[in-house]
Amino acid sequence: MNLELFIPELSLGIFALAVILLDLFIKRKGYLVVVSIIGLVVSAAFTIAMWGGSSQLIFNNMLAVDGFALFFKLLFLGIAALVILSSVDYVSRFSRFQGEYYALVLLSTLGMMLMAAATELISLYVALELASISLYILVGFLKDSRSTEASLKYLLLGAVASAVLLYGMALIFGVSGKTQLLEIAQTVQTLSLEGVLSSPALILGIVLLVAGFGFKMAAVPFHMWVPDVYEGAPTPITAYLSVASKAAGFAIILRVFFSSFGLPEWLSLNWGLVIAVLSAIGMTWGNVAAIPQVNIKRMLGYSSIAQAGYLMVGLAVVGFSPAGNILGQSTVLFFLACYALTNMGAFIAIIAISDKIRSDQISDYAGMGKRSPIVSLGLTLCLISLIGMPPAAGFMAKFYIFSAAVQHDLLWLVVIAVINSAISAYYYLRVVKVMWLNKPASEEKVPSSGTLRVALAISCSGVLLLGIIPGYIMRLAELAARMFT
């Protein structure tokens, strides 16, 4: 069974259970944070120990242990660690349920790790539901009207998306008679264009898969849940949704579409074109809709939709790339790493400010540069990175992904993306202007806890390092993408 190759997931599941049990017996809930972080570190250590080994399949070829899966496992574990560190003060709002909160974060991370490794449709769906159900609960943790509404909306739309995805999987199974991705690929490669057009079940199945995965990625037109859920959820969970859930969606769609539908070339080109069109619409809609927002969490919600559009430029490159070319995959992985650090840093700063002023209105951030200069500086850096300005990580992420698109004759898409980046500068820099140039409503300082400052420092340091010396992480992304060759 190769159980030793499953140790990162197994250890994380054990620590999630330990957090729940400890919560029953200890009064000092700070220990739950320590145990959760130790669990993430232990899982990450086991994952790193596997790096560089040969790719293997475990559990009857249902899960892969390869560079691609290991890259995403480390990404999810790092995101979860930042979320937990940024939650230490915030969890006072639901002090009775701290054990459940941290355990659910660990379990959703476990589900996402399994999603990145899944090489079979049934295991993929089970992993997706493990991550999703945990997130449905976490979104409603505040138990007020907005949080409950957000949780219910996320649950209902998520259930519809899961049903659509499952129906798409059923159609793919009906065409191929297989659930293993590589076995599906062998069937698909034998099909001619005429044969597919005469029996369009395969095309319909692919369309439904795009819809189901598009919900996880917050991609247009499957984005309708994002603004309300981001606004109503606890802010650390909003951060978690904006980066981890999106990264998991891209991990799945990269593995499924390249492994099963990368050949024949006509099929790859067609779904690549569909992704390119959705990318152009998504980034445009996200940026335009973000402009009038007055709530910073809703603004970043629409920003997340736009960022999904930029990431889909890389997916389109994958569709247009010849077999064996990993440029599109590696740029998507690098962009996800940069985006994770950037958006986590932005939300950590928002937690530090909004938790003290008890408001998410952008106007209430007036003069925050004087009241909390370090946190405001960190938020400014992250917003600059989201625009794609140097020397932040966002600049290098967009440079790599746009360069790959130009090399694959997607100049029209890059032009749209660059115009959208310019549009996004308006609403990102508006926040910067309010913080540094507007008159503060009060001279009272806005302090932040040590754990929040540590999480913000880690995120902002990563944003700067990836912007200045991106080579190391880009090489890791290229190694992770070699599973596609």
Segments of 129-268 assigned E as strands: none
Q: Which residues, at least 6 apart from 463, have a Cβ–Cβ distance to it below 8 Å? A: 338, 341, 342, 345, 381, 382, 385, 392, 393, 394
For residue 390, CA distances in Å to 299, 308, 398, 411 come to: 22, 20, 11, 22
Cα–Cα distance, 138 to 94 (Å, whole number): 11
What pLDDT does residue 4 have? 85
φ, ψ for residue 61, nearest 5 deg = 65, 25
- Could you tell me which of 301, 282, 315, 217 has the C-alpha nearest to residue 420? 282
Over residues 233-259, the pLDDT tens digits come to 998 999 999 999 999 999 999 889 888
Over residues 196-213, the pLDDT tens digits come to 777 788 889 989 999 999
Token pair recorded at residue 467: 């912007």
Cα–Cα distance, 181 to 241 (Å, whole number): 27
Query: Which pTM was predicted?
Result: 0.94
Is the pLDDT assigned to residue 484 strictly greater than 70? no
Of all residues in the chain, what percent carry a pLDDT higher than 70?
A: 99
462: left (phi over 0), alpha (psi -120 to 50) or beta: alpha
Q: Which residues, at least 6 apart from 19, have a Cβ–Cβ distance to it below 8 Å? A: 32, 35, 36, 39, 99, 102, 103, 106
Over residues 395-409, the pLDDT tens digits come to 999 999 999 999 988
Is the pLDDT assigned to residue 356 strictly greater than 90? no
Is the pLDDT assigned to residue 194 strictly greater than 80? no
φ, ψ for residue 262, nearest 5 deg = -75, -25
Token pair recorded at residue 141: 């943790």
Q: Lowest-confidence range among 47-51, 90-94, 269-273, 390-394?
A: 90-94
What pLDDT does residue 93 have? 78
3-state secondary structure of 295: strand
Mean pLDDT value of segment 119-142: 92
Cβ burial of 328 (10 Å; 0-12, 13-18, 19+) is buried
Burial 277-293 (b: 16+ CB within 10 A, else e): ebbbbbbbbbbebbeeb
- Could you tell me which of 48, 118, 34, 120 has the C-alpha nearest to residue 77? 48
What pLDDT does residue 318 have? 87
Q: Where do we find the tokens 């937990």?
A: 84
Over residues 96-113, the pLDDT tens digits come to 788 899 999 999 999 999
Cα–Cα distance, 63 to 54 (Å, whole number): 14
Q: Lowest-confidence range among 226-230, 252-256, 263-267, 472-476?
A: 263-267
